[in-house]
């Protein structure tokens, strides 16, 4: 049997044995009445690691980011978002549809950053014709920019600018622990300058479900009410939270292995004729590369050989290393790619 090597996303990671045991043994209650001790424990832990007053368990990163919009704005406000942001591309336009806000995009550079001058120019002055600029949204790590990492200094600078103009700042930190591990700083330092933050348990941290929305007690209470309206009041959610606690306590440090495997993959691809890669641009677990024109339908063909990638546009492909794929699997994947390219040329 050919082993499937799945590099489509780190969301494919399955819960660990320890998570499954914790889920089975979790003490439970009705979380809508705040009576689930395991959810309460996860939320306290999340608030502590993020250095915020409070946290709220949500169904997904998409819901957490939507809560970031709903809690920080009013309908008719404008939010400023990177042109490559997950919130702009992949969240079904929820900010506009459900939050009633205008989405203003400004370009992300290759390193996932927004230019301070662009941000400043996008912030509206008081004028009867204009919507109010209410919220700046950042993303760390920046998914579409190849898992790019925003530093503490940058986050502080750009958030300070937004705050000086009266905007709130929400950080989509779906993979904030990847950034923290890559920089060797605690996550709480990276998120200190922002008002609200989302992070995902269900990506590289390997929990089956869930994200956390974190901020001041007041913000989290507003978000809690919105979460209920959205149908996200989850009753005995301790079964989910139990895995989340293991994710935060046990699964952060090992993200360094995913980063090492991403570098291993990109180094291998650089050796195969025709592949276009930027080894210097692989700070975390996401690798964007281009396959050679001779190999048409690369993603489909290599998929038939048991190596799964995600197709971007044109010849661009995304790989995300994760706990289900070890160093030896990366070598195996490179071997299969080499073979495919040889046969195609």
For residue 301, the minimal CB distance to ligand PLP (Å) is: 26
For residue 320, the minimal CB distance to ligand PLP (Å) is: 9
Q: Which residue lies nearer to ligand PLP by CB, 295 or 317?
A: 317
Residue count at the site for ligand PLP (CB under 6 A)?
12
For residue 304, the minimal CB distance to ligand PLP (Å) is: 27
Q: Which residue lies nearer to ligand PLP by CB, 193 or 232?
A: 232
**DSSP per residue, 50-89:** HT-SEEEEES-HHHHHHHHHHHH--TT-EEEEETT-HHHH
For residue 185, the minimal CB distance to ligand PLP (Å) is: 19
Judged by CB under 6 A, which of 22, 36, 52, 60 binds ligand PLP?
60
According to the binding rule CB under 6 A, does residue 202 interact with ligand PLP? yes
| Contact yes or no for 172/138 (Cβ under 8 A) | yes
Burial category of 236 from C-beta neighbours within 10 Å (exposed 0-12, middle 13-18, buried 19 and up)? middle
For residue 210, the minimal CB distance to ligand PLP (Å) is: 8
According to the binding rule CB under 6 A, does residue 143 interact with ligand PLP? yes
| Contact yes or no for 59/232 (Cβ under 8 A) | yes
Pick the piece of the chain touching ligand PLP (CB under 6 A) from 55-63, 94-102, 250-258, 263-271.
55-63
Judged by CB under 6 A, which of 52, 86, 264, 308 binds ligand PLP?
86
According to the binding rule CB under 6 A, does residue 325 interact with ligand PLP? no
Q: Which of 331, 327, 287, 292 is nearest to 309 (CA)?
A: 287
According to the binding rule CB under 6 A, does residue 112 interact with ligand PLP? no
CA distances from 7 to 195, 282, 285 (A): 33, 15, 10
For residue 44, the minimal CB distance to ligand PLP (Å) is: 22
CA distance 124 to 118: 12
Q: Where are the alpha helices (DSSP H) in the chain?
A: 17-25, 37-50, 61-72, 86-89, 94-99, 116-122, 152-164, 176-183, 187-191, 217-229, 238-250, 255-270, 298-304, 327-344
According to the binding rule CB under 6 A, does residue 174 interact with ligand PLP? yes
According to the binding rule CB under 6 A, does residue 178 interact with ligand PLP? no
Q: Which residue lies nearer to ligand PLP by CB, 204 or 238?
A: 204
According to the binding rule CB under 6 A, does residue 200 interact with ligand PLP? yes
Does the CA dihedral 32-38-39-43 come out positive or negative? positive
According to the binding rule CB under 6 A, does residue 61 interact with ligand PLP? yes
Binding-site ranges for ligand PLP (CB under 6 A): 60-62, 65, 86, 139, 143, 172, 174, 200, 202, 211
């Amino acid at each position: 049997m050919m082993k499937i090597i799945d590099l489509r996303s780190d969301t494919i990671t399955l819960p660990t044995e320890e998570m499954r045991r914790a889920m089975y043994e979790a003490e439970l209650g009705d979380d809508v009445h705040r009576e689930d001790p395991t959810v309460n424990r996860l939320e306290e832990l999340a608030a502590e690691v993020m250095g915020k007053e409070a946290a709220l368990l949500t169904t997904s990163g998409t819901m957490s980011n939507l809560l970031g919009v709903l809690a920080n704005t009013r309908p008719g406000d404008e939010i400023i978002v990177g042109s490559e942001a997950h919130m702009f591309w992949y969240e079904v336009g929820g900010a506009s549809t459900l939050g009633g806000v205008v989405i203003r995009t400004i370009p992300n550079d290759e390193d996932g950053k927004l230019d301070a001058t662009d941000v400043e120019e996008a912030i509206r002055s008081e004028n009867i014709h204009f919507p109010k600029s209410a919220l700046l949204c950042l993303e760390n790590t920046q998914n579409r920019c190849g898992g790019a990492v925003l530093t503490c200094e940058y986050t502080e600078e750009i958030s300070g600018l937004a705050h000086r103009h009266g905007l709130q700042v929400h950080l989509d930190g779906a993979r904030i622990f990847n950034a923290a591990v890559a920089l060797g700083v605690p996550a709480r330092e990276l998120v200190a300058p922002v008002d609200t933050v989302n992070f995902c348990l269900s990506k590289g941290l390997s929990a089956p479900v869930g994200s956390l929305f974190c901020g001041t007690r007041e913000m989290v209470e507003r978000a809690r009410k919105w979460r209920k309206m959205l149908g996200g009041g989850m009753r005995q959610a301790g079964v989910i939270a139990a895995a989340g606690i293991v994710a935060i306590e046990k699964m952060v440090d090992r993200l360094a292995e995913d980063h090492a495997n991403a570098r291993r993959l990109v180094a291998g691809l650089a050796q195969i004729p025709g592949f276009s890669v930027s080894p210097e641009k692989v700070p975390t677990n996401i690798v964007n590369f281009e396959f050679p024109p001779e190999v048409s339908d690369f993603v489909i063909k290599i998929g038939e050989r048991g190596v799964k990638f995600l197709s971007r546009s044109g010849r661009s492909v995304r790989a995300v290393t994760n706990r289900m794929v070890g160093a030896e699997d990366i070598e195996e994947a490179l071997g299969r790619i080499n073979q495919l390219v040889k046969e195609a040329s």
